[in-house]
Amino acid sequence: MPPTSGYRLTRRRRRSQVALIDLRTILGLVKDSSGIEQAWGRHNLGLGTAYNPAAWTGFFSAEVGASAALAGLIFVAVSINLAQIVKQKQLVSRSAKALLSLMAVLFSSSLCLIPDLSRVILGYELTALGVAIWAGTALSQYGAARKNLYVDTKTKVFHFVLTEFSAIPFVIGGLSLVRGSGGGLYWLAAGTVFSLANALFDAWVLLIEIQR
C-alpha cells in the first residue's frame, strides 16, 4: 500500500528537525571552540611582553645584524694579527671567547625570530644554547687568564665577571620562558648587552692591546 501524503509530510518534518538539531550541534561546537581559542589568547596575553617573542621582533632583528657585524670585526682582527695570536694560547682563547659571545647573541636572536614557535620549545632551545655558550666562554676565559703575565688580577676578575654575566642570563631566560614567569626575554636582553660588551673588550685587545 503506497504511503499517504500525510505520512510523507510527517517524514519530511522529522528530517528537517534532525537537520536542525545537527546544525545547532555544529554551531555549538564551533562556539565552544571559539571560546577555547579566545581563552587561550587571553592566557597568552596575560603572560605579557616578556614572554611574547613577536613583541621583540625589532630588537632581535637589530641584534642579529649587530652580532654579525661584530663577528666580522673579530675575524678581521684575527686575520690582521694572526701570526701574533697563534703564538700565544691566551690570545687564541680570547678570540674564541669573543666569537662565542657573539654566537650567543646571533643564535638566540635568530631563534626568537622563528614565527609561531611555542614559548616552551623556545625556552628549552635557549636554555640548551645558554648552557653550551656558558661552558664554552668559561673555558675560554680560563684559558685566556691562565699564566697570562700581561694581565693583572683586577683585569682577570673583571673579564671573569663580565663573561659570567654575558652567558648565564641566556640560561635563566630560557628557563623563565618554560615556566612562564621570572622575567622571560628581559634576561636575554641583559645577556645580549653583556655579550656585546664582552666581545668589544676582546676585540680591543686583539686589535690594539696586542700591538703594545
Please write the tens of the pLDDT for every residue from 177-206: 998 888 889 999 999 999 999 998 888 888
Whole-structure pTM value:
0.71
What band does 146 get if pLDDT is binned at 50, 70 and 90? confident
> What 3-state class would DSSP assign to 182?
coil
Query: What angle is formed at CA 88 by the lines to CA 82 and CA 93, rounded to 5 degrees?
Result: 85
Residue with cell 666581545: 199
CA distances from 163 to 73, 98, 197, 202 (A): 19, 10, 10, 11
Q: Could you count the other beta carbons within 10 Å of the beta carbon of residue 138?
A: 17
What band does 83 get if pLDDT is binned at 50, 70 and 90? confident
Distance between CA atoms of 100 and 199, rounded to whole angstroms? Answer: 9
Amino acid letter, 64: V
* 126 close to 188: Cβ distance less than 8 angstroms: yes
